[in-house]
């Protein structure tokens, strides 16, 4: 009888444990995966695909790009690296053009490395188009407006759309104190994504 009680107790504990756990095996389900977009940018716009990685380039106030994310989840962080010429902040925006939800905030990033910062989550459904915008705030010299971009080594425009996996890059634009200059290069402004 005691053995039967132990088995029943273990069965109840097991049932409680398994029913309170996540129902799928997706390890990314409960974390903001910072490298979600950066690894794709690095692969798609690599030197082997004919691109140069220019860490301090394009002296215009606003650097932006548009992507389509073919997954359900939320954008939960934004990454950037201040150039050596700027220690101030940027207005960073993430706009879901499909659902009209957006985030905008002031951010100062590390000059030493790519720096991810959490944002108010932006919900994303499969196929949503997202605009990512970096605008320098209160600069005093034009050389402070530069940022990291990936540009075709032959100086041609980026042949958007370009996709890999669940991300498709659609366009880019640079403007403010000049421009607009469309599809000239891919701004290096990664996003963190939490898959549902």
Per-residue pLDDT of 76-90, as tens digits, reads: 999 999 999 999 999
At residue 15, does pLDDT exceed 80? no
Instruction: With beta carbons less than 8 A apart as the criterion, state whether 177 and 142 touch.
Output: yes
Neighbour count for residue 69 (Cβ, 10 Å): 24
At residue 8, does pLDDT exceed 50? no
| Mean per-residue pLDDT of the chain | 88
User: Is omega for the bond preceding 166 within 30 degrees of 0, making it cis?
Assistant: no
Closest by CA position to 52, among listed 180, 186, 189, 169: 186
Taking the mean position of all CA atoms in its chain, how far away is CA 30? Answer: 17
Closest by CA position to 188, among listed 115, 79, 103, 108: 79
pLDDT for the residue numbered 80: 98
d(CA 31, CA 194): 6
pLDDT for the residue numbered 143: 95
Could you tell me the CA-to-CA distances from 183 to 21, 43, 147, 174 in Å, in that order? 45, 18, 15, 8
Could you tell me the CA-to-CA distances from 113 to 42, 79, 130, 164 in Å, in that order? 15, 10, 25, 25
d(CA 73, CA 143): 37
Question: What are the beta bridge partners of residue 192?
Answer: 77
Q: Which two tokens stand for residue 106?
A: 């002031």
Sorted by where each begins, the domain ranges of the chain are: 30-195
Name which CATH class applies to 30-195. mainly beta
For residue range 65-117, what is the model confidence (pLDDT) as tens digits? 999 999 999 999 999 999 999 999 999 999 999 999 999 999 999 999 999 99
Instruction: With beta carbons less than 8 A apart as the criterion, state whether 177 and 72 touch.
Output: no
């Amino acid at each position: 009888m005691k053995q039967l009680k132990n088995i029943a107790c273990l069965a109840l504990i097991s049932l409680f444990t398994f029913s309170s756990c996540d129902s799928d095996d997706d390890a990314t389900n409960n974390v903001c995966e910072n490298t979600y977009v950066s690894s794709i940018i690095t692969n798609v716009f690599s030197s082997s695909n004919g691109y140069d990685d220019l860490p301090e380039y394009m002296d215009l106030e606003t650097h932006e790009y548009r992507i389509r994310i073919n997954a359900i989840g939320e954008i939960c962080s934004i990454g950037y690296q201040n150039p050596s010429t700027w220690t101030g902040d940027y207005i960073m925006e993430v706009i879901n053009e499909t659902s009209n939800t957006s985030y905008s905030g002031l951010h100062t990033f590390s000059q030493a490395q790519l720096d991810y910062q959490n944002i108010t989550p932006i919900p994303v459904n499969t196929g949503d188009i997202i605009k990512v915008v970096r605008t320098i705030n209160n600069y005093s010299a034009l050389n402070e407006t530069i940022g990291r971009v990936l540009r075709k080594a032959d100086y041609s425009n980026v042949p958007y759309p370009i996709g890999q996996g669940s991300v498709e890059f659609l366009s880019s634009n640079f403007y403010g104190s000049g421009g607009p200059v469309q599809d000239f290069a891919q701004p290096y402004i990664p996003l963190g994504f939490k898959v549902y």
